[in-house]
Amino acid sequence: MPDTVSDAFYILNADSPSALILTVDHASRHIPAEYDNLGLTDPTVLARHIAWDIGIEDVSKRLSEKLEASAIFARFSRLLVDANRYTDDPASMPEVSDGIEIPANRNVSTAERQKRLDQWFWPYQTALDRLIEKKAAAHDHPILISMHSFTPVMNEFERPWHIGVLWDQDARIAAPLLDILRENSSLVVGDNEPYSAREPLGYTMNEHGTKRGLPHVAIEIRQDLIDTHQGAEKWAAIMADALHKLQAGGALGR
């Protein structure tokens, strides 16, 4: 059961002695009833990757348990407001996502934009700030791992990677983690693939990681590998093994 629950987020293992924090910005496809599915006439669209990161909530819950790590999960769809985009980025409340028009996001008023930020975006970010501060009181360097998943096909390109390690300026976690994952010859591991962490610059890792000087990395796992409980368990085990090896090597502290 979550330790902390609000409309905007929930936290697992808030009091864990581990320095590790998992962030799951796109865990949910939830859109409040008042928004009437953001005007989408086909509600099945909300089951697609444009609304959330398919499978990553399941993986991250299991990974949090295996590592006894703290984890924070957003409880709102990225179509309502994206927890990993800067508030002035058009993708914060996208009018179009992967070719799908989002009617309620056209011409969002200033008042409505602020309402969504105040009810969803900022409570999630504030809770993450507090979790980091709590960890910082017990550890020299809290460690952030931002968990995501990616669609197997985008713009008619079949993405070959099973997992991607995304990073910008700080390679403290990314470099050894890439080496560890590539020890498994059956995995196709992307270095800043299927896209780079440098463009677009993600809010979570930049604001909470880079600007604080904390070790951090973003992980992307392909959605068709984790859209079942069996797949989620397999990949949670792969990630737990890799992170245990990082810890043994000193990269995650002791």
Query: What pLDDT does residue 155 have?
Result: 74
**pLDDT greater than 70 at residue 243:** yes
**pLDDT greater than 50 at residue 145:** yes
Tens of pLDDT, residue by residue over 35-83, are 999 999 998 999 999 999 999 999 999 999 999 999 999 999 999 999 9
CA angle at 88 for the pair 84 and 93, rounded to the nearest 5°: 60
Q: Residue 254 — very low, low, confident or very high, per pLDDT cuts 50/70/90?
A: very low
Query: What pLDDT does residue 250 have?
Result: 73
Nearest to 147 by CA among 214, 53, 69: 53
Query: What pLDDT does residue 28 have?
Result: 98
Q: State what percent of residues in the chain have pLDDT above 90.
A: 87
Q: What is the DSSP letter of 213?
A: T
Alpha carbons 13 and 24: distance in angstroms, whole number: 14
**pLDDT greater than 70 at residue 252:** no
Q: What is the mean pLDDT of residues 160-186?
A: 96
Nearest to 81 by CA among 59, 56, 52, 57: 52
Alpha carbons 225 and 108: distance in angstroms, whole number: 35
Query: Average model confidence (pLDDT) for the chain?
Result: 94
Query: What pLDDT does residue 1 have?
Result: 65
What tokens were used for 40? Answer: 């989408």
User: Domain map of the chain by residue range?
Assistant: 4-248
Instruction: Report the sign of the C-alpha dihedral through residues 10, 73, 217, 55, in that order.
Output: positive
Assigned CATH topology for domain 4-248: Aminopeptidase (3.40.630)
**pLDDT greater than 80 at residue 249:** no
Q: What is the mean pLDDT of residues 146-162?
A: 92
Query: What pLDDT does residue 38 have?
Result: 97
